[in-house]
Chain A
Amino acid sequence: MSLEPLLSVEELRTYFRTSAGVARAVDGVSFSIAANESVGVVGESGCGKSVTSLSLLRLIQRPGTIEPDSKIEFEGTNLLSLDDESMRKIRGNRIAMIFQEPMTALNPVFTVGAQLAEVPRVHLSISRRDAWARAVEMLGTVGIPDPAERAHSYPHQLSGGMRQRVMIGMALMLSPTLLIADEPTTALDVTIQAQILELLAELRGRTAMSVLLITHDLGVVAESTSRVIVMYAGEIVEQAGVRELFAKPHHPYTEGLMAAMPRAGTKRERLTVIPGAVPSPYEWPAGCRFHERCPYAWERCEREHPPLYEIGLGHVSRCHLAVEPERRASPHVPLAARAGAGT
């Protein structure tokens, strides 16, 4: 890792103040990304991973707000202190983002060539002809066959995989240093997913770009990232290098997620489940937010919110097991399972 991280996030809090109360969707998240690094963020629905990525680009809309003490430092600038015009220049130019559903992110009434060409026209004020040439070149870079021809297609004329390639192309038009990919392959078939992940890896190899990959799929994380952040209930609960995380998951939630996945060799056995459901962001549980679903939880977990303990080189875990490891030897039925109702 280089000395100065490309992006450094400190105590990010994104809250939604609604009539129902305050939803603390992202609640004190800190992490950093180095140049040319690929970092994965995993977690289930409602853990705050998407709100985190939108916060980085300041794309949070009312009633959501990024709380005052949060800090997002990118290439030496605190993004949260920028005016709207300067922020607009960062978006697309330096940080780009791709989303899960490329159909909704593309404009249906313009050709993909026109949409790609618009990016350098707006940001670099170059001629229409040059912009079009760049658009066609980019379509070729992201692996669209017959790019000159395809540039004249409308989004609905392309397949899901092709649309995601167009989205990636659009994101890369201005050679950003950071690409945020929010579930980029979730809507795609597995053979097309393989193509897109290969493309992202290839592009990262060719440029110095960093990638923040947000996904619920541990398989995707294992194959495409070097470091993994696990989120639960608005917080980071574990962070480690990808090999370390899969070999020695520490947090009981990470452990549970891995055990819940069907994989070769688990055939027709009962899968391990995490009982209960993700708590509500309006009312995170006191103490450890996972304690009701945790097979190791004890009194301390109900009382004391665990900090991120350092348990190895570059490996942190928000679990009191870090200081009382002997408790792991005696798992019990979690509170949420005792309550009875299934999820």
Chain B
Amino acid sequence: MAPYPNLIGFWAVCISWSALFLTAVSIYLYMDSRKNRKQDTHATGGLGFVRDFVFVWILLGLLGLYIVSIDTGSSILFASGNIVVEALLIAYTVKNRPPKEPKTEERDS
């Protein structure tokens, strides 16, 4: 039994709320940008939505992992879950990097 049993419900609501708030903000920004870009033909169908929101699906997956691992008090589950997600995120960012980027300019300091 986890310590502070009376707080786990509040805590789950808070962490879920922050993840869901982020999801809602993402959807709002996405719809807002679609509205502003009349010529946008990219990602009009459901598949585009699924693909563009990869990080949101990962986020919601993480939320599930965090609630379950903390509710069960399992550090192992928490650690292994994090490692898997980190691998997924690295693959995602590497896949989405632009083909070539110019140099970073040094400032006179």
Q: Do A and B come from one complex?
A: no
